[in-house]
Amino acid sequence: MADAFNAIAKSGDRGSPRMRPAPWWKGAVFYQIYPRSFRDTAGDGIGDLAGILERLDHVASLGVDGVWLSPFFKSPMRDYGYDVADYCAVDPIFGTLEDFDRLVAKAHRLGLKLIIDQVYSHTSDEHDWFRESRSNRDNRKADWYVWADARPDGSPPSNWQSVFGGPSWTWDARRQQYYLHNFLSCQPDLNLHNPEVQEALLETARFWLDRGVDGFRLDAINFAMHDRQLRDNPPSGVAMEDVTRPFDMQAHVHNQSQPEIPAFLERLRALLDGYGEIFTVAEVGGPDPVDEMKSFTAGQSRLNSAYSFDFLYAEEIRPQTVREALAHWSDAPDEGWPSWAFSNHDAPRAVSRWAGRHDRAQVSRLLMLLMLALRGNAFIYQGEELGLPQAEVAFEHLKDPEAIANWPRTLGRDGARTPMPWAAGEPHAGFSAHAAWLPVDPGHHAYAVDRQEASARSCLSVTRELVALRGQSDALRLGQIEMIAAPSDILAFERRHGDQNVLCVFNLGDAAVDWQPGVAGGGRRLADQDGRVNDGAIPGRLAPWTGYWADISGR
């Protein structure tokens, strides 16, 4: 198989039917773009669609299969795009619908699929739907949001707490009722129990499908419905001193994760199937998300994939962490397909959480080797291909409402959202000609794309090599996974598909380990944390934070 890998790599052929079996999204690698921080061309310090268009060749050069584009819709930006004021309009700070159409066209020319966020659990309070709904109790959209009367003592209808702190209910004098918001008070929850609301959301999906998008990421989809009886949540048993917000002191059995959600997902899937192979992935948060993830992706009539925060919020990466996450997905008939992310716009960057005292560049390369070996889809967050660490953002520059509210107990999300560094020697690292909406961390200039392009062993170069190798391997893209018993700091497993078999081994500990799996015929090493290898020998000693892929197909 190694020879086949090398032959394909030299020819550049990544599109043979054998190596790209349907559906296209299974085993795909996606690159997440956070538009505000990718590239600014308008000179206002905010990234835009024209900037993405300008730098899309960089994304294509990674060899990824598609792009996940975070929200660019019209919004007052109190939650930076996840408070949508118009699902079918581009916010002027990002550009126009024509810019979006050009982006779709270029992505497709480059062989990239494009998926976008859909935020179905809530809107902005500036959305026309909410403005009409709150005007009185008798308008056409009166039941499009979750409204409820006060309790006899004037208190909110239930004890539900919002993610960002404080009660999930806000009093509205016009209706003389409370409205529900699981997040900020300016993000009222839609009433998806109402079939008219469901149909309106399906219409927004049609709008973007007709413009050529290839799929959707469903944001916070397990918050999309609520208990109709508005029953109080029970306590979680977590003490206040162990958390930063009252939200974590409740078991969220009534304000989210309702049994009616899958029926709505089936309505959505029925629409999507009319457009061909449209990819859907659900974001599912919470302390025990697996059952929901499996429910949302079960069979052929719901979503394709789901991911949780198994890795995004993990303070360390240990072999047992990975084994437990993977063990939930068994490849049983009608079971969904998992997706994995180590970093994204909502979580501190993985290399800063996990590297400790070790060399961050090496750890970044190893984490890429690990993520691309896992069974499922891989999501690379912008800057992750550079090994970009979490940025330092001073309190006076914070934008994240959660970070500001919980300072200094919560790191917040701003440190993962600072601008992409393109050019080390330019002001603002080449992101913009002007001061950015979040300041560029001075330390990030050293990680800039132009500097890494010049190094064959940079995180950027290694990422390209590893993505290419994964794309050429049916075993790594689609294969089953089988764990191998190994010393405590060693994670080892095999990926199998047809006659291909790839051995994947990682030392996630702080000390070197002398260990080699028993492989008949020895096998041949394909790659390690430094990219492709030439000697092909499987090592018997693993230094800290090193690993490898090896072809053992002939055993």
Q: How much of the chain is helix, strand and coil, in % rounded to 5? A: 30, 20, 50
State how beta strands 546-551 and 524-528 pair: antiparallel
Active-site amino acid positions: 219, 283
- Compute the distance between CA of residue 34 and CA of residue 52 in angstroms, rounded to an integer: 10
Q: By the 8 A CB rule, do 504 and 495 touch? A: yes
CA atoms within 13 A on the CB side of 62: 30
Q: What gap in Å lies between CA 19 and CA 259, rounded to an integer?
A: 38
CA distances from 6 to 66, 369, 519 (A): 23, 18, 22
Rg (CA), the chain: 24
**Distance between CA 70 and CA 33 in Å, rounded?**
6
Q: Find residue 279's DSSP bridge partners.
A: 215
Dihedral (C-alpha) 292, 296, 300, 306: value to the nearest 10 degrees? -90
Gap between the Cα atoms of 40 and 38, Å rounded: 7
> Contacts for 422-429 with beta carbons within 8 Å, 24 or more apart?
422/39, 422/55, 422/448, 422/449, 422/450, 423/448, 423/449, 423/450, 424/448, 424/450, 424/451, 425/450
Which two three-digit tokens encode residue 327? Answer: 């063990």
User: In terms of C-beta density within 10 A (0-12 exposed, 13-18 middle, 19 or more buried), how is residue 109 classed?
Assistant: exposed
Q: For residues 421, 109, 278 and 62, what is the CA-based torsion angle, rounded to 10 degrees?
A: -40
**CA 434 – CA 538 distance, rounded (Å):** 50
Give the β-pairing of 169-172 and 147-148: unpaired
Nearest-CA neighbor of 458 among 389, 531, 352, 373? 531
DSSP state of 499: T
